[in-house]
Amino acid sequence: MLRLGRREFAAHEPVIMAIVNRTPDSFYDQGATFHDEPALARVEQAIAQGAAVIDIGGVKAGPGEEVSAAEEARRTVGFVAEVRRRHPDVVISVDTWRHEVGEAVCEAGADLLNDAWGGVDPRLAEVAARYDVGLVCTHAGGAEPRTRPHRITYDDVMADILDVTVGLAERARKLGVRRDAILIDPGHDFGKNTRHSLEATRRLGEMVETGWPVLVSLSNKDFVGETLDRPVKDRLVGTLATTAVSAWLGAQVYRVHEVAETRQVLDMVASIAGHRPPAVARRGLA
């Protein structure tokens, strides 16, 4: 059982986490949800399409203009409070690696801290414990926030992923973060080249076997683009294929841009696996 905010998710229940970037320079939408009204409209749409979690980020992952902790908080804290007011039951996640921002968004009503940079600020886990919120423990290959990998190598990329993510998860548990609110994430593209991310996908079952719920952030990423030689706006098919494989191997939470399409893929995989009945069953029964 995964328990985040007011929601509980069974072991085989796939969970969609919709991305809402509060940045003017995000790689995918170039700032489409930087301002309040389009961002709030995006939240409404994502929930209507089946997202259970809204992931709010105030700093783009890639290199760019420096964003201070104060500016990151300015972009996210008030927005978290407004989403909480409008949607009391939705799970609110905030994508941050800074404990100061984590503390501010928890005060505003966040339920989950999505640490995409692999515990670079160890105090973030302490914040999660203090506020009784969830924590995503991600493998980033030791990369500093907002840097790109350069000729990074691993003897065994999945062994490194397991060592880091399970270690972060166990540390968080010992600090007091609830066992049922901790997730692990292989960190596709973070501290990895395309072959590393493909191998991490292929061996995702090894993460699932640890017993920690697995989150994957696959949506329109560079490893999809390089694998198929497609630009950012033409990576949906590759993303959905990777989503289907990840679902079959047991991942539970999916951080995505395209909610409706992801929902169909996850429902189809769940039905093939026998965890979900068909929405309609008429064929051969008339």
Name the catalytic one among 98, 192, 221, 235.
221
Known catalytic residue at 60: no
Q: Which of 42, 98, 235, 255 is flagged as catalytic?
A: 255
Give the C-alpha separation, 193 to 202, whole Å: 14
Residue 233 catalytic? no
Side-chain half-sphere CA neighbours of 271 within 13 A:
11
Q: Return the closest-CA partner of residue 167 out of 202, 125, 224, 130.
A: 125
Rounded Cα distance between 33 and 103, Å, is: 23
- Indicate which residues carry an active-site annotation: 221, 255
